[in-house]
Amino acid sequence: MTLKKEELLNKGWSNQEIERAEAILEKTEQKDVFLSKIVFWSALAVTILGNILVSVVVIPLLIAFNVWALYSVTIVLALSFGFLYTWLINDIGHLGKHHHILAGIVVPIIALTNVLILTTIGNQIALNLQTQAPHENPFLLGLVFAVAFILPYLVGQIIKLIKK
């Protein structure tokens, strides 16, 4: 018999009342886990859509900005989304380790892929418009975006490990 159950019996609770209370608490926890998973997958979907939108915004920047301005804006956008994503993921309760691993791997890969594709498209548009804009290496810009995006999450996980 658990200590809590023993305390409740000493306070005059019947076994039936204790079992009913335990069932209610168990049911509530199951709902919390279910809602946490919904919030996790929703946050993941929003982050992926946000990455796509940011990548689309980068296309005109490829044509208009010099290299340093382009990389600076890319890093600021990626860090901003990374902080938002980290806040969402860390604020959701009842997530397992596999959720955090999934978040740490899948989202950067998707971010990298988005930026690769859209940088290639931006370079092609700049070529077709015959602008003097430098053609950016899609892989390098995508890598910078993905690293800046996942950096807040990784720093948070490292801080958690150090605190343990």
- Closest by Cα among 60, 77, 160 to 118: 60
- Closest by Cα among 103, 105, 122, 101 to 54: 122
Q: Is residue 3 part of a domain?
A: no
Q: Is residue 9 part of a domain?
A: no
Q: Is residue 26 part of a domain?
A: no
Residue 48 belongs to what domain range? Answer: 35-163
**Total domains in the fold of the chain:** 1
pLDDT digits (tens, 9 = 90+) for 47-64: 778 777 777 776 777 677
pLDDT digits (tens, 9 = 90+) for 127-146: 787 766 666 777 787 788 88
The full DSSP string for 43-84 is HHHHHHHHHHHHHHHHHHHHHHS-HHHHHHHHHHHHHHHHHH
Rounded to whole angstroms, how far apart are CA atoms 41 and 98?
13
Q: Is residue 127 part of a domain?
A: yes
CB atoms within 10 A of CB 105: 11
pLDDT digits (tens, 9 = 90+) for 79-103: 988 888 787 777 665 566 776 677 7
